[in-house]
Structure 1
Amino acid sequence: MSLRTCLLATSTLALAAPAIADVNIYTTRQPELIQPVMDAFTAETGIAVNLAFVSEGIVERLKAEGARSPADLVMTVDIANLKQIVDADVVQAVESDVLTNAIPPALRDTDNQWFGLTTRARVVYASLDRVADGEITTYEDLASDKWEGRICTRSGLHNYNLALASAVIAHHGEEDAKDWVAGIKNNLARKPEGNDRAQVKAIWAGECDIALGNTYYMGKMLADEEQTEWAESVRLVFPTFEDGGSHVNVSGVAMTQAAPNKEEALQLMEFLVSPEAQSIYAELNFEYPVLADAPLSELVESWGPVTADETDLTEIAGHRAAALRIMEEVDYDG
């Protein structure tokens, strides 16, 4: 065989070899927040990851695309969003011993359609100057009249507060949950407005003494020169339910029904619960890993231990409609 024939044969074989497929992700998280962990996956496997930021309408987009969708995975935050994509029938069950062994049962779907990747606690930001250590103990206590005129929150209709109210329903039932929501409303120092960071700013400004917020915002504020002073005016307090632990929510991942690159997508899902990925992901977002042995970031560790409530998040999500109805009935935002 001539050299020319050998070269042609080699070229033909190279062209015929299947290329490694990319993994395509629709994400409601800003891509820069998760790009480093995707880069680590690509470095280990050679599989590229394409991130498409979809801030709203992710379910509608997947429905419209149907079987033609290029998306293999969806990454989003909050149990309500994860439940929405499951209820819309745009994702599929994934059977993986790696995922089920790494993720506690309360932080993944009972039918394996979504999997938690990191957690955040819904806690209290308390003024260092005006709230004593040990003054805050439980979520139930926040409805006590001792907090009258001292609480700030964002809208009661926001997913984060609806999830917390849903957890109250899971623990105490709808009637008691309605009394709790009404009690919080009676204790508000001002009409609900702004995001979680805005509540901390209000504490710093002396408008209120305590506020509900997610843990990771402390890290984000400390990393923002303009907001550092706000963060340094408060401390994190981890209330618990009287019969449970601190309310946590998740960021999570699910495989789409279409998933054109299913094998590679599963590789990425399993990588995301590896010690390396869990450490990177949690460090980037000031969140808690779902993998028990993964290290916390130095800042998150400084906040102290969290006793996470063990109520299944799927159960909590099932109470969301009732929580929304309660918020509207008590006119929480009014």
Structure 2
Amino acid sequence: MNSVDNIQKLINEYIDNQSFSGTPAELYAPIEYILRQGGKRMRPTLCLLACDLFGGDINDCLTPAIAAEIFHNFTLVHDDIMDQAPLRRGMETVYHKWSSDIALLSGDTMLIKAFQYVLNTNKKYYHEVFAELCKVALEVCEGQQYDLNFETQDNVTLDSYLEMIRLKTAVLLGSVLKIGAITAQTNAKNQEAIYNFGISLGMAFQLQDDIFDCYGDVSVFGKMTGGDISDNKKTYLYLKALELSSEEDKEILINLFKMPKGRDEKKIETVLDIYKKYHVKEIVTDLMTQYYEDSLKHLDSIDVPEERKVILKDYANYLYKRNK
């Protein structure tokens, strides 16, 4: 079994040895910029951990794992355009450092690069890996569109929000784990279980991000807090507050989220006061914990010796207890 440190070292060394430069420089410089920033490398790490869990050769899984990392970063580049976000990982976003046009084109190029890496996957399971990545790429785009739709809809439900984050965030975690399982050539039952582990972990991860967006430390979180409120994003916190609020507080929330996008400290303060009044942070934290515990149940159902699950279980616990 490989440790998380060894796996992340392998991933970082592989990426460091790749060249993402090219001409025109304006197209490729942003790709170098974002991929050299590091980040959690969570998705390729999970991919290789799943491969290792089922006794596969992680070197065979490396190129699809890197493809998933490039794909994930492509989604961040485009996400920052839509959110007009100035910071990502404590650094300027591609959109802010260059322009929205360059960020759009560089993001498109990253998507193509991701699929080029898949081409180097072992022929024994190339088609399965390619099909899984195509499926999840569409799902992520669907989730992003739902997220945009919600900004102008007044009838967003808690269930529809959970489905949106399943598509936007959780499915990619599920898919990278399944890709790792595919390259290890484990059975369909194990593939489904590790996929569901990733879905539940991804749901917990996104709810945690929503909490950090309101309550995180900018020096740790890497971007300004209150961004979701500024962007009128109807997160689980907002929707739960609406459900619990008095008619007066509900009207205040609805009117605040009809304001034009843009940072307004008074708006953020008022919304957070309402969240505090109805203990929304605690409620969402409890839901996040429930998803995390569900993920461990899926991991427990996998048919491999328990000692092989320890590293993946510890990594899931690390993600659950993260502070950024």
Give the TM-score normalised by the residue count of structure 2: 0.31
Larger Rg: 1
Return the structure number with greater strand share. 1
Return the structure number with greater helix share. 2
**Higher relative contact order, chain-length normalized (CA < 8 Å, sep 6+):** 1
